[in-house]
């Protein structure tokens, strides 16, 4: 893969999938993609599409997401939506809450249509575990309430979750700047933060401030 053309943590694409289940390896498919593009910390574009996986979804997923089989029967096929979405991603780095889940589905759906992406992923959930250790848990809905972030009350729909994740991400960048004194935050710094142990956190930020 090529290096992303954007190195700032304030310029990227935040995405969220709704799916038929937990594992593309077990045949599960994406049924909705929602994403927002951040440019220097401002949402400049949005992408939202339902997509028809070519089969019916079960009642649990209908209830959990509010996406019905009727809605999907009228949606574009996965291949067409994902082709559009690959263009939307462009060369941007990517953020998702519990990114390992969304990355699996992004990779599986793009592999089906032989498309790729050049950016790399960061996980807002892993970053939040380091920056908000006192939160009751690190689910997206809990963190939205914990930090009083903007939301429209809708959860488990892709665009609403992507927008909330974007607000969470920007709140975390502000936390790194204001509470830890690190400015000009690069995307790779946030990727490293996800992997730092709690015991090493103070030293990690101290090294970043010296740079």
Rg (CA), the chain: 17
In tens, the pLDDT along 9-29 reads: 999 999 999 999 999 999 999
Count the neighbouring beta carbons within 10 Å of the beta carbon of residue 138: 19
Annotated catalytic residue: which of 6, 138, 156, 180?
156
In tens, the pLDDT along 44-100 reads: 999 999 999 999 999 999 999 999 999 999 999 999 999 999 999 999 999 999 999
Q: Answer yes or no: 156 catalytic.
A: yes
Segment 184-196 shows an average pLDDT of 96
Looking at residue 6, its pLDDT comes to: 75
Looking at residue 5, its pLDDT comes to: 55
State the average pLDDT for the chain: 94
Tokens of 160: 């609403």
Residue 110 has pLDDT above 50, yes or no: yes
Residue 152 has pLDDT above 90, yes or no: no
Hey, what's the torsion of the CAs at 80, 52, 169, 207, to 10 degrees? -70
CATH of domain 12-201: 3.30.420.10
In the chain, where are the structural domains located?
12-201
């Amino acid at each position: 893969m090529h290096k992303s053309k954007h190195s700032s943590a304030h310029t990227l694409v935040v995405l969220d999938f709704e799916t038929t289940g937990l594992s593309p390896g077990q045949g599960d498919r994406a049924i909705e993609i929602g994403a927002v593009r951040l440019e220097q910390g401002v949402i400049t574009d949005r992408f939202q599409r339902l997509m028809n996986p070519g089969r019916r979804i079960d009642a649990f997923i209908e209830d959990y997401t509010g996406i019905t089989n009727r809605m999907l029967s009228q949606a574009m096929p996965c291949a067409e939506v994902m082709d559009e979405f690959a263009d939307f991603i462009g060369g941007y780095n990517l953020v998702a809450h519990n990114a390992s889940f969304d990355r699996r589905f992004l990779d599986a759906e793009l592999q089906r249509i032989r498309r790729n992406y050049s950016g790399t992923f960061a996980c807002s959930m892993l970053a939040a575990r380091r920056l908000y250790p006192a939160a009751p848990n690190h689910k997206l809905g809990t963190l939205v309430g914990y930090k009083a972030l903007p939301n429209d009350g809708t959860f488990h729909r892709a665009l609403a979750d992507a927008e909330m994740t974007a607000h969470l991400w920007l709140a975390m960048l502000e936390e790194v700047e204001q509470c830890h004194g690190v400015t000009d935050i690069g995307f790779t710094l946030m990727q490293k933060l996800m992997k730092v142990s709690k015991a090493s956190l103070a030293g990690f930020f101290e090294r970043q401030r010296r740079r």
